[in-house]
């Protein structure tokens, strides 16, 4: 059964570091939501295993629009999803909106926290303060039904190590269930001049604080208290089906043995007018195994090589032999039937992925 992703591309303000597609114009919200309904109605699916409303900033839309959107989803989806996540920013998630989310069965709120240091937040161009974060977490918990994730960033150039670690230490004391910790990526021009500066990463320190506080790493950037991993996101890393609705959303479905990806490209107006382009990519069966491996290595459990060779009728022996250098360098290991990154290898995910990709097509 596929999952459903809905993209809300509006933000109150554009953060200086963020390269994701979003616009600050909100006067198109109603038309955009009607266009989402148009695509939901066209979809042949009426059951979604998990649902994720992401952005942009879904919490910027008005209470009326939020209710309209959630009502429509509840009419289309004929089952209770295993997990229903909603992405929000601390300053725009009001008590009223939290109540609406609860009424329509949202089970998980992912909050964009980034830092609990007000100077860092200002430097990044965020419009919330640490106080907003504490307040909103209290509101959410008073509602009593939600799992909470907090997104944060580290390895931000010019931000001292102490500020990141004290944010983390404060964050793990809060009543939350999950942390997504992203190392800074240079997606915009903001601080591009620091890109090639050899900077020590805080990856192990971040991982250490989270693990010591009971948040177990299950994916390179994701940490959860026991049982609270994101079921929706796991489906992406396990190459399972999902439908993406909205501008810049992606879908992945299987057609017979082919894996098909669709990307909605264009801007908000083109999506509203139904004039956006849908870019389709077909991945034949023989090319799927390498995708499963490179995506799967993001997860701590890695990939089961016996299941993969059975599924794709592929003899892994030669491929594994040719990865010798990666084992030798301590980047990869075999645990039971699974091929996994080592703790050291997690620092070099991109390198390992590229190496395996090149090796597969050699």
- Which parts of this chain interact with ligand SF4 (CB under 6 A)? 11, 14-15, 18, 20, 22, 55-57, 89, 112
3 binds ligand SAM (CB under 6 A): no
3-class SS of residue 62: coil
327 binds ligand SAM (CB under 6 A): no
Contact present, 110 and 87 (Cβ < 8 Å): yes
- Which does residue 9 bind out of ligand SAM, ligand SF4, none, counting CB within 5 to 8 angstroms by kind? none
Nearer CB in complex with ligand SF4: 55/244: 55
Q: How far apart are CA 90 and CA 88, in angstroms?
A: 7
Choice from 109, 121, 153, 331 touching ligand SAM (CB under 6 A):
153
- The H or E element that residue 244 is part of is strand 242-245
Choice from 10, 17, 215, 237 touching ligand SAM (CB under 6 A):
17
Distance in Å, CB of 112 to ligand SF4, minimum: 5
187 binds ligand SAM (CB under 6 A): yes
Tokens of 274: 């139904």
Distance in Å, CB of 340 to ligand SF4, minimum: 31
Distance in Å, CB of 276 to ligand SAM, minimum: 19
Q: How far is CA 129 from the centre of its chain?
A: 23
- Beta strand residue intervals within 60-117, DSSP E: 83-88, 108-114
- Which does residue 187 bind out of ligand SAM, ligand SF4, none, counting CB within 5 to 8 angstroms by kind? ligand SAM
182 binds ligand SAM (CB under 6 A): yes
- Which does residue 346 bind out of ligand SAM, ligand SF4, none, counting CB within 5 to 8 angstroms by kind? none
- Say how many Å lie between the first and final Cα of the chain, rounded: 35
67, 247, 275 from 49: Cα distances, Å = 21, 22, 29
- Which does residue 155 bind out of ligand SAM, ligand SF4, none, counting CB within 5 to 8 angstroms by kind? none
Contact present, 87 and 55 (Cβ < 8 Å): yes
Distance in Å, CB of 5 to ligand SF4, minimum: 15
Choice from 3, 29, 57, 149 touching ligand SAM (CB under 6 A):
57
246 binds ligand SAM (CB under 6 A): no
Strands across the sheet containing 222-224 = 216-219, 222-224, 178-183, 147-154, 108-114, 83-88, 50-55, 3-8, 242-245, 250-255, 258-265, 277-283
């Amino acid at each position: 059964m596929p999952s459903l992703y809905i993209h809300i591309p509006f933000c109150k303000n554009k953060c200086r570091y963020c390269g994701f597609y979003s616009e600050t114009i909100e006067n198109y919200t109603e038309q955009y939501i009607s266009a989402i309904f148009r695509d939901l109605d066209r979809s042949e699916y009426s059951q979604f295993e998990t649902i994720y409303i992401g952005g942009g900033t879904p919490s910027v839309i008005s209470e009326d629009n939020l209710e309209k959107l959630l009502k429509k989803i509840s009419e289309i989806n004929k089952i209770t999803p295993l997990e229903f996540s909603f992405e929000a920013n601390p300053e725009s998630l009001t008590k009223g909106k939290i109540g609406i989310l609860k009424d329509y069965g949202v089970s998980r709120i992912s909050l964009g926290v980034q830092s609990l240091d007000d100077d860092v937040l200002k430097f990044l161009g965020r419009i919330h303060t640490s106080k907003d974060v504490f307040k909103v977490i209290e509101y959410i918990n008073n509602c009593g039904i939600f799992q909470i994730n907090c997104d944060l960033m580290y390895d931000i150039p010019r931000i001292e190590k102490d500020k990141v670690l004290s944010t983390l230490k404060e964050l793990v004391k809060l009543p939350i269930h999950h942390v997504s910790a992203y190392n800074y990526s240079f997606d915009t021009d903001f601080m591009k001049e620091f890109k090639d500066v050899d900077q020590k990463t805080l990856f192990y320190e971040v991982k250490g604080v989270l693990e010591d506080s009971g948040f177990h790493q299950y994916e390179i950037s994701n940490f959860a208290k026991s049982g609270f991993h994101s079921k929706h996101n796991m489906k992406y890393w396990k190459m399972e089906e999902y439908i993406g609705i909205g501008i810049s959303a992606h879908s992945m479905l299987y057609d017979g043995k082919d894996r098909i990806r669709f990307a909605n490209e264009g801007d908000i107006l083109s999506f509203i007018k139904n004039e956006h382009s849908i870019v389709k990519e077909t991945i034949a069966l023989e090319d799927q195994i390498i995708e499963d491996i490179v995506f799967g290595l993001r997860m701590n459990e890695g990939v089961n090589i016996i299941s993969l060779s059975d599924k794709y009728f592929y003899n892994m022996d030669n491929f594994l032999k040719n990865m010798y250098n990666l084992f030798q360098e301590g980047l990869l290991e075999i645990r039971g039937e699974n091929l996994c990154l080592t703790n050291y290898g997690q620092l070099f995910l991109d390198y390992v992925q590229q190496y395996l990709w090149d090796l597969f097509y050699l």
